[in-house]
Copies of this chain bind each other. A is one copy, B any other.
């Protein structure tokens, strides 16, 4: 949930909860599919549990902010795989099948789909969990019922026809969660600030400034780590990083002598964020320029320094994308059709559109 807790204080659940929850749902799914005579061997079962338990292990603390600051261009899926490989070595090759499932190489396609697809156990868990902890009832879904409706045809995961309502509800709930939570402007500005704080710290570290921070955090601030550099030793260092490292550092940095670093850190720690405005269209560059100029004069800053506090950006997402691996429905007639050919209750077109939001951020003092 990144920084969502600044908006929804209850959103303090952890990745550990999510991993356990996804595995719990996978157990349900295995039991449901077996009761429908889908053959799943004990080692396949184990593979599914391992893969879903570890699917998110590559996420660093505040993962999205992290991926653009602490490390360079390393998606969390890459890191999850690296961890699985390391564990596979440690456990004498026992994670082989889980890794094949996770990377989609396992020959039984539906197993990969249970781990990663538009109705995977990952989403089935986090949507319900996030709805529960934020209190946004609109996002609540009936994961158990959806799982009960799963089946397999031609090695492909399908939903039985009488589950169409539940799937529609699931997509509508996802839509609500995007609008009310994941794309909430206050969460977004907090996330931007965090990313920028870490980027600033990294720049200062490169310039040789004195910085307080845990050993693990300092490691990643002091070097550029891309995919290439992610050796087993560096991975071990990465594994040590968690929210505690980040927040503790921010707390110490509130008193740092660099204006940018201390201001950004204070904003997050004291929850006095930048102002953020959001709309469906891009903001006028002139407006950005004007605000930048104001701030530079106010605090005697360089262009570069001001750009930490005044900026525009956009964020996009898609609730349901029928183009890539659509959700398949098993009709009572035994035919299989993609969801958008079956559902006529909602305008799935609307849900299938990508949502894009533009935003501008700047200090409240400039208003």
> A186 in the interface, Cβ–Cβ < 8 Å?
no
Chain B: CB-nearest residue to A255:
B215
Within 8 A of B (CB), among A162-210: 165-166, 168-169, 172, 175-176, 179-180
CA–CA, A179 to B343, complex, Å? Answer: 12
CB <8 Å contact, B169 and A138: yes
Chain B: CB-nearest residue to A247:
B244
CA–CA, A243 to B12, complex, Å? Answer: 14
Stretch at the interface among A39-47, A76-84, A301-309, A344-352: A344-352
Cβ contact of A245, chosen from B138, B248, B345, cutoff 8 A: B248
Q: Within 8 Å CB of A142, what residues of B?
A: 137-138
Show 25 A/B contacts (Cβ-Cβ < 8 Å), sorted by A. Answer: A9-B14, A9-B17, A10-B13, A12-B14, A137-B142, A138-B142, A138-B169, A165-B176, A172-B172, A172-B346, A175-B345, A179-B345, A214-B251, A215-B255, A240-B251, A243-B244, A244-B248, A245-B248, A245-B251, A346-B346, A346-B347, A346-B350, A347-B349, A347-B350, A350-B350
Within 8 A of B (CB), among A223-249: 240, 243-245, 247-248
| Chain A interface (Cβ < 8 Å from any Cβ of B) | 9-10, 12-14, 16-17, 20, 137-138, 140, 142, 145, 165-166, 168-169, 172, 175-176, 179-180, 214-215, 240, 243-245, 247-248, 251-252, 255, 345-347, 349-350
CB <8 Å contact, B215 and A252: yes
Q: Within 8 Å CB of A172, what residues of B?
A: 172, 346
CA–CA, A255 to B236, complex, Å? Answer: 14
Q: Within 8 Å CB of A166, what residues of B?
A: 138
CA–CA, A244 to B248, complex, Å? Answer: 6
Nearest 3 pairs between A and B by C-beta? A347-B347, A248-B248, A347-B350
Chain B: CB-nearest residue to A136:
B165
Q: How far does the Cβ of A292 sit from chain B's closest Cβ, in whole Å?
A: 27
Q: How far does the Cβ of A20 sit from chain B's closest Cβ, in whole Å?
A: 7
**Beyond known contacts A168-B176, A169-B176, A175-B346: 14 more, CB 8 A cutoff:** A9-B14, A9-B20, A10-B13, A137-B145, A138-B142, A138-B165, A165-B176, A175-B345, A179-B345, A214-B251, A215-B255, A245-B248, A346-B350, A350-B350
CB <8 Å contact, A252 and B165: no
CA–CA, A145 to B175, complex, Å? Answer: 19
Q: How far does the Cβ of A119 sit from chain B's closest Cβ, in whole Å?
A: 16
Q: How far does the Cβ of A143 sit from chain B's closest Cβ, in whole Å?
A: 11
CA–CA, A240 to B9, complex, Å? Answer: 20
Q: Within 8 Å CB of A20, what residues of B?
A: 9
Q: Within 8 Å CB of A346, what residues of B?
A: 172, 175, 346-347, 350
CB <8 Å contact, B180 and A165: yes
Q: Within 8 Å CB of A243, what residues of B?
A: 244
Q: Within 8 Å CB of A169, what residues of B?
A: 137-138, 176
Q: Within 8 Å CB of A214, what residues of B?
A: 248, 251-252
Q: Within 8 Å CB of A247, what residues of B?
A: 244
Q: Within 8 Å CB of A14, what residues of B?
A: 9, 12
Q: Within 8 Å CB of A248, what residues of B?
A: 214, 244-245, 248
Chain B: CB-nearest residue to A12:
B12
